[in-house]
Structure 1
Amino acid sequence: MADAQSIYNLYQAGVNYNNRLEPNYYDDVDTSVDMFQGKQWRGLELDEDSDLPQPVLNFIRRFVTFFVASLTTSNLKIHLSPYLQSTGVTIEGMSNVQVTEMVNSHIEFLLEKFKMEFRLREASFDSAITGDACAHFYFDTSIKPYGAESGDIEGEIVMELVDGINIIFGNPNCNETEPQPYILVVGRDTVDNLRKEAIEQGMSENEAGQIVSDSDYQWQLGANGQIENENVDEYGKALFIYCYKRNENGTISVAKSTPTVMIFDEIDTELSYYPIAWLNWEKQKNTYHGRSLVTDLIPTQIFINKMAAMIMYHLMMSAFPKLVYDENLLPDGVDNRVGRSIAVDNIGDRPMNTIIDQIQPGNMSPQIIQALDTIVGYFKETAGISDASIGNIENPKNTSALIAIQEATSIPLGNVAANMSEWMENVGQILIDMMGTYYGIRPLVMKQEGQRSLHEFDFSQLKSMWLNVGCSVGESTKYSEITVIQTLSNLLQGGYIDFMQFLERVPDGYVTQKQELIDDIKMRMGMQQEEAETESEETAQAQEDPLASLSDEELVYFSQQPPEVQEQLLAQAAGM
């Protein structure tokens, strides 16, 4: 049995751990978010009367966007395979290989429902900026998985992304989920939603009324996470905490509470794995928090902004000459408008430049611009971005060398790609565990030859199967696609493949309405084949019966000839 206060104490222990990290975890994460969003002068002290401009040359956003785009792929897929390729019959009368194929098809269906390609990019952005990302899974019994076609089947697996700042590990010195004694998933929801959920779990309305809004949002992500609606009664928000724990029998239990009220007490989920997939951008020793890409870029980004600000300030102050004049001769000042005359008293023999003149500004040293360019160049190189990797090369001639440079530049991203692959494998393991626990016998979506169909399947047998989960998340750039197109073009020109084989293998996006074009060509080829077959049949019939090709007049002429002449004519027709 758990109570709200004990769960809240676990949450406070996690908050205290984060605050004791050096640098302070919450400050570090908020600074990274601000820098990515372009709020790069926040917290930098300037005099109130300072005219120094505050330019933002946001290299951080460009770097993060480039790396995420390079790492995420549009061909995301989780692969299941049995450890033992047995062909023996299982419960459903199928081999474990056949069962695995069916489960693979359903996982593909779930990933499409989750919009997993978009979610992977979102998680990649989160981890690149804050160091961490998390996917939280739960089984929603109110959802019909296939709509009206589900019949009496209810319940579907739901995935949500949670900010890494809202995940508390029971052992914060370990970055793996399964060894954890407990894991907290924290968030904020409206009081109205929390009260409804509590009543659905069997709480009376009076007890649910004890759930009230609070201001416990100081540890939410970013400045925007700490701004909420005020004075909206039940539509105010309150902190909630999911507390997952591993039971003595090895299964996972879950409880949910606010700081003061239990929404539901510990429930045995019967899951074998925590329904939490944890992702670090770069793993760090002895802490479950990862190191973000942004953290190392911040000092140089600030320096570049300051240098650009001082260059701008110099231009503002001294780019144009200043007028100086003799106040005794020009007591009303100088009219500097175009074409205006200037009245001077008692000019006498004094030179004009002693009455009014211009102060020429000093020239800024070109070394400043050169130094800034050099620093920006080093900044890009140390971050792992070269001109070749971003395609900043005009008319590249040696494309093979260009691709080799690009691949060499991406080598440091291998560790990050491995972390993402591990994250996706954890997602696959969680899905198998939840399907085997909650689905029972239900229809399964099979996709064969582009068509989907439903087949009944007993998912509970997954709990006793030994499956290997694999996933590859790697670099996806235009250069790799260009290489494919060049290779296909060479094969087509060499006659090793035909145009249809070329078109079917061209990456999507390079040919508008590619599938429609393929269908049209296939239809045209089919019509041509039918015409060729018809001509072939007519030719064969003409060879079998030479008279079949004669017109009515020719047949009349043929019939009027004597037999020996008819034989000669038939011989001539057969020899043609």
Structure 2
Amino acid sequence: MDNSELKNNEIPQAISSLSPVLINNRYEKGIDYKNSLNLYDIVKNNTNYYCDKQWENCNAPDLQKITLNIIKQVVSYSVSMLTTDNVGANIKMYRTDKDDNKAIPNIISSEILRIMENTQFKESLKDSTRDCAINGDSIIYSYWNPDIKIKGQLNEGDIDIELVKNTQVYFGNPTTKNVQKQPFIIISFRKLLEKVQQEASENGENPEAIKADTDINQYNSKYEPDNFVTELVYFTKINGEVWCAKCTKDAWVRKPWNLEYSLYPISYWSWSENPNSCHGISPVSGIIKNQDAINKLWSFHYHVVQNFAFPKIIYDRDVFGQQKYTSAIGKPIGVSGDPNKAIFNVFNGVQVKNEIIEFADKLAEKSKQMMGASDVALGNLKNPENTSAIIAVSNNSKQPLALQQKSYYNFVEDTFRIWLDIMSVDYGIREVKTIDENGNDTYGNYDFSRLKDINLKLNVEIGRAAWYDELAAIQTIDNLYHNQIITDKILYLESLPESANIPNKSEIIAHLQKEKAQLENKTVLYQQMAQFLDTLPPEQQAELKKLPPQQLEQTVMSMMQQAGQVPQQ
């Protein structure tokens, strides 16, 4: 619903009183709060350490600056542990008493999987997890992109996502990280001036009022061109509906309009809770001093080895005169006096003790253990011989990340709920694919606005399906089938997880179901034939049983038809 469709008296007072200046003032207060936490410097410093920039402020030109980056190793481990699980939407309804409701879970699940594929959501989750580990928080902003075209759909547009840093998001109440209870939320973007001016012009605003500015938090402005401007995207809730506005510090890009969403389109998660703050705590921040100590110990050790550990030649300069001593192979050396006299000597280097390196290694190992990345966690396991061992090691290695895993799953679930909210408003009527009772694909139109009334009854879950869990499931089903605990081929195929990747699985199941139906019909036919044979005289039964099986079947069927007993198939 655009503002042009609203009368002035229909616009809430809280919206009509908004202005770019008011939004910018709230943005600057958000910056002040982040500065009180030293957030911008923490994020920049943590990012530098992750990216191997660990000697930025060290003035030691003669020291070989060695970097052994345990931070990157542990962060990469954490990302891999949390994101190796495939995520998906298991949609369940609390009520399925209506026939048309039964198809809704399949429709929504298919749409969520399609959005995940189109937006490369799984890759974004990896980036989000890395950002969360380095910066303390991570945010995904979901929005309706009207420019996306989908083949076969009359209505254009689709859901899109953008990964946002915690330095870009400003909560109206920064003492809590509960997104949906915020009085307002601001997201700041640094964009090209001409792009923002074009956007303002398309929305009926004055593009000349938008001027280039500098990034007032000075986080990215060091290497930034002078033709950028800060665009503020402002969200607030009025009567349970989300309103949005876009502006610069003193001009509208788009005046407030009603998105009609019930949820803020922002999903947010933190690595570790920080009491009374919307921002979490990064594990990198607490390990930087350890990283500095490890780098210095190795650098000092290398300096000692380089300068004192190797043998040195000491010679008499008076004997050599103006000719310098050389160690070049085969080159003659001229001396003054008797060359048989000792004119030089070799002094062995100082023996460098290994205690320094042993301590550095212990410090590195202890630091990784404190961050939940021990040798076992990093995969240094001796001879894992079976699936159970692999699963046990994997489960044990995930224990230090149990809290983060829960937050990560909640984060993904929140994102899916936001997508459902956007679908109910912006999708309209779309062609969807469903699966009928026989496992066949069917197509039809569905009005997604109906989700407005039922989306609160949906139960969204995250499916955990790491490769070793899938392998264990496949092996379990195989064992049940080979041991004849499962004897039905159809049940066996239906029990296998999708990761088994059986080509034409639905067609195979349909063929087996057809064969099963034919076999059942034939069984009924044979029972009818046996009952008919029992009614014949013993002599005639004996003669018939001498016939070959196929001829016997044809003869008995012919006799049944002549007797007026048509076999039922």
The Cα offsets for residues 508-550 of structure 1, whole Å up to 9 and x where unpaired, read as: 59xxxx646989999x999xx9xxxxxxxx974466799xxxx
Does the 8 A contact of 1:280 with 1:419 survive in 2?
Answer: yes
SS of match in other structure, 1:346: coil
State yes or no: 1:391 paired with 2:414. no
CA 1:336–1:486: 2 relative to 1, 3 Å: farther
**2:446 aligned residue:** 457
**1:69 aligned residue:** 80
Aligned 1:171-182 pairs, distance under 5 A: 171-182=173-184
SS of match in other structure, 1:196: helix
Q: Return the offset for 1:413.
A: 0.9
**1:364 aligned residue:** 352
CA 1:368–1:316: 2 relative to 1, 3 Å: same
Q: Return the offset for 1:187.
A: 0.4
State yes or no: 1:215 paired with 2:222. no
State yes or no: 1:304 paired with 2:294. yes
**2:531 aligned residue:** none
State yes or no: 1:136 paired with 2:141. yes
**2:165 aligned residue:** 163
**2:41 aligned residue:** 27
Aligned 1:318-357 pairs, distance under 5 A: 318-331=308-321, 332-347=323-338, 350=341, 352=342, 355-357=343-345
Q: Distance in 2 between matches of 1:78 and 1:226?
A: 42
Does the 8 A contact of 1:72 with 1:475 survive in 2?
Answer: no
- Aligned residues: percent identity? 27
Q: Return the offset for 1:4.
A: 1.5
Does the 8 A contact of 1:127 with 1:292 survive in 2?
Answer: yes
**1:276 aligned residue:** 266
Q: Distance in 1 between matches of 2:553 and 2:171?
A: 87
**1:260 aligned residue:** 250
SS of match in other structure, 1:293: coil
CA 1:199–1:143: 2 relative to 1, 3 Å: same
Does the 8 A contact of 2:431 with 2:444 survive in 1?
Answer: yes
Q: Return the offset for 1:169.
A: 0.4
State yes or no: 1:99 paired with 2:104. yes
CA 1:467–1:507: 2 relative to 1, 3 Å: closer
SS of match in other structure, 1:178: helix
Aligned 1:9-20 pairs, distance under 5 A: 9-20=25-36
**1:59 aligned residue:** 70
Q: Return the offset for 1:444.
A: 3.1
The Cα offsets for residues 384-424 of structure 1, whole Å up to 9 and x where unpaired, read as: 12222232133245874664344233112111111111112
Aligned 1:211-250 pairs, distance under 5 A: 211-216=210-215, 218-220=217-219, 226-230=222-226, 236-247=227-238, 249-250=239-240
Does the 8 A contact of 1:140 with 1:157 survive in 2?
Answer: yes
Range that drifts further, 397-406 or 298-307: 397-406
Q: Distance in 1 between matches of 2:273 and 2:43?
A: 16
**1:190 aligned residue:** 192
Aligned 1:508-519 pairs, distance under 5 A: 515=502
Specify the code of the residue in structure 1 equivalent to 2:79.
Answer: V
Does the 8 A contact of 1:167 with 1:183 survive in 2?
Answer: yes
Q: Return the offset for 1:39.
A: 1.1
The Cα offsets for residues 329-368 of structure 1, whole Å up to 9 and x where unpaired, read as: 1222212112333333223885x2xx20122211111212
| Count of residue pairs the alignment pairs up | 504
Q: Distance in 2 between matches of 1:317 and 1:81?
A: 70
CA 1:539–1:168: 2 relative to 1, 3 Å: farther
Does the 8 A contact of 2:148 with 2:156 survive in 1?
Answer: yes
Does the 8 A contact of 2:313 with 2:346 survive in 1?
Answer: yes
Segments of structure 2 that go 5 or more residues without pairing to the other structure are 1-15, 517-546, 556-569
CA 1:142–1:412: 2 relative to 1, 3 Å: same
Aligned 1:413-424 pairs, distance under 5 A: 413-424=401-412
Does the 8 A contact of 1:256 with 1:262 survive in 2?
Answer: yes
The Cα offsets for residues 485-528 of structure 1, whole Å up to 9 and x where unpaired, read as: 7656766775767999699958959xxxx646989999x999xx
Specify the code of the residue in structure 1 equivalent to 2:81.
Answer: S
**1:549 aligned residue:** none
Aligned equivalent of 1:443, options 431, 441, 454: 431
Q: Distance in 1 between matches of 2:497 and 2:263?
A: 41
Q: Return the offset for 1:283.
A: 2.2
Specify the code of the residue in structure 2 equivalent to 1:270.
Answer: E
Aligned 1:370-409 pairs, distance under 5 A: 370-396=358-384, 400=388, 403-409=391-397
CA 1:493–1:462: 2 relative to 1, 3 Å: closer
Q: CA RMSD in A?
A: 3.5
Q: Distance in 2 between matches of 1:208 and 1:61?
A: 44
Q: Return the offset for 1:6.
A: 1.3
State yes or no: 1:120 paired with 2:125. yes
Q: Distance in 1 between matches of 2:195 and 2:373?
A: 46
**1:42 aligned residue:** 56
SS of match in other structure, 1:79: coil
Segments of structure 1 that go 5 or more residues without pairing to the other structure are 231-235, 530-537, 547-576
SS of match in other structure, 1:422: helix
Range that drifts further, 333-342 or 166-175: 333-342
SS of match in other structure, 2:91: strand
Does the 8 A contact of 1:132 with 1:281 survive in 2?
Answer: yes
Does the 8 A contact of 2:86 with 2:465 survive in 1?
Answer: no
Q: Under a length normalisation based on structure 1, what TM-score does the superposition of the two structures give?
A: 0.78
Q: Distance in 2 between matches of 1:519 and 1:268?
A: 44
Q: Return the offset for 1:63.
A: 1.2
State yes or no: 1:111 paired with 2:127. no
SS of match in other structure, 1:246: strand
Q: Distance in 2 between matches of 1:29 and 1:433?
A: 32
The Cα offsets for residues 133-158 of structure 1, whole Å up to 9 and x where unpaired, read as: 111122233433x23x223x233222
The Cα offsets for residues 202-258 of structure 1, whole Å up to 9 and x where unpaired, read as: 12xxx21222222226444xx6x742335xxxxx221100111121x2211111001
Q: Under a length normalisation based on structure 2, what TM-score does the superposition of the two structures give?
A: 0.79
Q: Distance in 1 between matches of 2:157 and 2:471?
A: 44
Q: Distance in 2 between matches of 1:489 and 1:386?
A: 34
The Cα offsets for residues 9-30 of structure 1, whole Å up to 9 and x where unpaired, read as: 1111011111111xx1100001
Specify the code of the residue in structure 1 equivalent to 2:416.
Answer: G
